[in-house]
Structure 1
Amino acid sequence: MTTPTPPPTPPSASTTTTSTTTSTSTSTDKTPAPASERRSWLRDHSELGVCVLLLALGVLVLTDALTMDVDITQRGPVGPRTVPLCVGAGLLVVAALLAVDVLRGGRGQAETGEDIDLSEPADWRTVVLLAGVFLGTAVLIEPLGFPIAGALLFWGAAFALGSRRFDRDPLIAAVVSFVTYAVFNNLLGVPLPGGPLMGVL
């Protein structure tokens, strides 16, 4: 006598739920992988940002050189466009070579030095002070002249970098500024704004 075979048992609801959950979690885990890999690739090739900057500067220099108004009566092979064209072309070449090196796996070495602590944050206070000193000099150089504006520039830069010798720094800044003005204006023939001291020097 043959014993009847029992019908197959249908999968339980818990098994189906577990399978669905596993499938969902697997698909969820695979979704952010490309974005994470893309961020990792960009982090490993961050030097490409320098390539983009050099490329933009090269294009800007070349555009400015090619659109420069040049006197057609000028003689000689070297004109006012020669240097900017060479600089712009050099920037493009350097950008291309650097991009090739980065894409091949080249990476710049980290900053090292005896007096550099890489764990310390950037000193933005000094950066802001120096930027303010340079902007102030650019604004004051016309009305005050280079001797006074230059003295303020040198003194302000020394103050921003941490020097607090108020008995010495202004005197050194004034001497350096006056000597620089005299050398450029009187010896080298490069005119600089003298301001109220125009008749003195």
Structure 2
Amino acid sequence: MTTQTDIPPAEGGGTRHSWLREHSELGVCVLLLALGVLVLTDALTMDVDIAQRGPVGPKTVPVVVGAGLLVIAALLALDVLRGGRGQAEGGEDIDLSEPADWRTVLLLAGVFLGAAVLIEPLGFPIAGALLFWGAAFALGSRRIDRDPLIAAGLSLVTYTVFNNLLGVPLPGGPLMGVL
């Protein structure tokens, strides 16, 4: 009887394929590296007004985040190359034998895309309410009597907090004069 260990590696790359498979976490390192370079490039080429009120300017946080991403990518790559492996996902509410629920993923993606398109013409309160209601529906809630009211309340509270209390202007849309 032939087992998997009895079969020699294929000519011209069988061991390379298995090395890449064993070190697949390096893909995450590459993603973090690219994201860190992107954030740092964007931060360092940012056009900023010279007059600054304190020691911390608008470039500080993006530079720290970009540098942190680069450090994390390097440390993770070092760990993977030394033989470190990520733990398999586990938990009492996760069934790894079940396939991914692509319907939910696609519904959520559509809801987010729809909110992004509608936020400018309808304003944040309406687009946000549709976002919250659509996300609740995509995740399985079917309470038509309650969900729209909760979504509208969440959206209005979020709009009020950001627009009026934090000073972050959000598009108001047709409700701009009412709120």
Q: Same fold (TM over 0.5)?
A: yes
Show the counterpart of 2:141: 163
Q: Figure out how many residues of one structure are paired with residues of the other and give that number.
A: 173
Show the counterpart of 1:120: 98
Q: Which runs of 5+ in 1 are unaligned?
A: 1-28
* 1:154-193 pair list within 5 angstroms: 154-193=132-171
Show the counterpart of 1:95: 73
* 1:1-201 pair list within 5 angstroms: 32-201=10-179
Counterpart code for 2:108: L
Give 1:77 deviation, angstroms. Answer: 2.5
Distance 1:119 1:142, change over 3 A: same
Show the counterpart of 2:4: none
- Alignment partners' CA distance in 1, 2:25 and 2:89: 14
Give 1:31 deviation, angstroms. Answer: 7.6
- Alignment partners' CA distance in 2, 1:180 and 1:84: 25
Counterpart code for 2:19: W
Q: Which runs of 5+ in 2 are unaligned?
A: 1-6
After superposing on structure 2, the runs of 4+ consecutive aligned residues of structure 1 that deviate more than 3 Å are: none
- Alignment partners' CA distance in 2, 1:187 and 1:79: 22
> What TM-score does the superposition give when structure 2 sets the normalisation length?
0.92
Give 1:73 deviation, angstroms. Answer: 2.8
> What TM-score does the superposition give when structure 1 sets the normalisation length?
0.82
Q: How well do the aligned residues superpose, as a CA RMSD in angstroms?
A: 1.5
Deviation readout 1:76-113 (Å, 9 max, x if unpaired): 32111111111111111100000000000000101101
Larger radius of gyration: 1
Deviation readout 1:142-178 (Å, 9 max, x if unpaired): 1111111110000000111111111111111111111
Identity of aligned residues (%): 86
- Alignment partners' CA distance in 1, 2:17 and 2:78: 20
- Alignment partners' CA distance in 2, 1:76 and 1:185: 25
